[in-house]
């Protein structure tokens, strides 16, 4: 994959890499190798992306600079699973006390939406520098725990809804080229992307962009 990542870097497209590392030695190796290539990286100690790492003590390449674009970032935190936090406020407080340049989180805490005030709070590092807050959004699978899911789809699925992902219960492949699914994602004030941007997120992390492989 390095060939493709380098093409991006050479074209001024920032590369963010997540490595799943279960020892401190592997985390060190990950950060060192990614830094040498010019990639912004995160060494995740848990595959479930459910913790703020306690190692290293500070984010790799920690800095107090304002981050106004991905090109300004030196590090990021990828934290989707909120199971280790008892409340939305605890989650916000924990992230607010970090110095990561970019926070990559979900639009919801469990099923509760973050507010504009929540996102604004998260946009400042504890050292005072500004940072980016980006929302996760799957465009290649529908998730039965999202706000858009309709109970009737369980017994009478729409034409664009395909098979369940055997590795992720409740996630279903979608025929992403069909307009009905696209309407869920973008194009109106009720769409997923509109909800995200209206809350003040700086951008969107698109997942399952390789969904075409399933249909091939």
pLDDT digit string, tens, across residues 44-75 = 999 999 999 999 999 999 999 999 999 999 99
What pLDDT, on the 0 to 100 scale, is given for residue 162? 96
Residues 80 and 153 in one domain: no
Tell me: do 186 and 149 sit in the same domain: yes
* Residue 38: predicted pLDDT: 95
- 129 and 152 both lie in a single domain: no
Whether residue 106 lies inside any domain: the answer is yes
Q: Could you give the C-alpha distances from 188 to 142, 183, 191, in angstroms and in order?
A: 18, 7, 5
Q: Choose the final residue of a domain: 102, 117, 138.
A: 138
Q: Are residues 15 and 104 in the same domain?
A: yes
> Given this model, what pLDDT does residue 117 score?
98
Task: Judge contact between 95 and 108, C-beta under 8 A.
Answer: no
pLDDT, residue 160, reads: 97
Do 51 and 154 lie in a common domain? no
> 31 and 101: one domain?
yes
Q: Which two tokens stand for residue 43?
A: 């060494």
**Are 79 and 174 found together in one domain?**
no
Are 154 and 124 in a shared domain? no
Residue 216 domain-assigned (yes or no): no
Residue range of the domain that includes 31: 1-138
Output the pLDDT for position 15. 96
* 209 occurs within a structural domain: no
Do 158 and 69 lie in one domain? The reply is no
Q: Within a domain: residue 33? A: yes
Give the pLDDT score at 40.
Answer: 98
**Which residues does the chain have with pLDDT short of 50?**
none
Among 121, 138, 155, give the residue marking a domain's end: 138
Q: Which of 87, 108, 138 is the last residue of a domain?
A: 138
Q: Number of folded domains in the chain? A: 2
Whether 125 and 181 map to the same domain: the answer is no
Q: Is residue 213 part of a domain?
A: no
Q: Do 150 and 191 sit in the same domain of this protein?
A: yes
Q: Which two tokens stand for residue 54?
A: 């306690």
> Do 54 and 73 fall into the same domain?
yes
């Amino acid at each position: 994959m390095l060939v493709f990542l380098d093409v991006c870097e050479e074209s001024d497209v920032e590369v963010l890499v997540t490595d799943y590392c279960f020892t401190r030695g592997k985390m060190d190796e990950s950060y060192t190798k990614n830094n040498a290539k010019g990639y912004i990286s995160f060494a995740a100690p848990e595959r479930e992306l459910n913790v703020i790492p306690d190692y290293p003590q500070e984010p790799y390449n920690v800095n107090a600079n304002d981050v106004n674009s991905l090109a300004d970032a030196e590090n990021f935190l990828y934290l989707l699973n909120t199971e280790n936090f008892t409340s939305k406020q605890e989650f916000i407080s924990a992230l607010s006390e970090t110095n990561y340049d970019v926070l990559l989180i979900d639009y919801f805490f469990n099923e509760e939406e973050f507010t504009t005030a929540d996102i604004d709070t998260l946009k400042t590092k504890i050292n005072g520098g500004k940072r980016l807050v980006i929302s996760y959004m799957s465009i290649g699978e529908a998730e039965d725990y999202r706000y858009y899911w309709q109970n009737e789809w369980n017994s009478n699925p729409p034409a664009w809804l395909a098979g369940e992902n055997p590795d992720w219960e409740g996630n279903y492949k979608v025929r992403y080229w069909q307009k009905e699914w696209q309407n869920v994602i973008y194009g109106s004030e009720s769409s997923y992307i509109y909800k995200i941007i209206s809350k003040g997120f700086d951008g969107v992390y698109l997942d399952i962009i390789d969904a075409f492989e399933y249909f091939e």
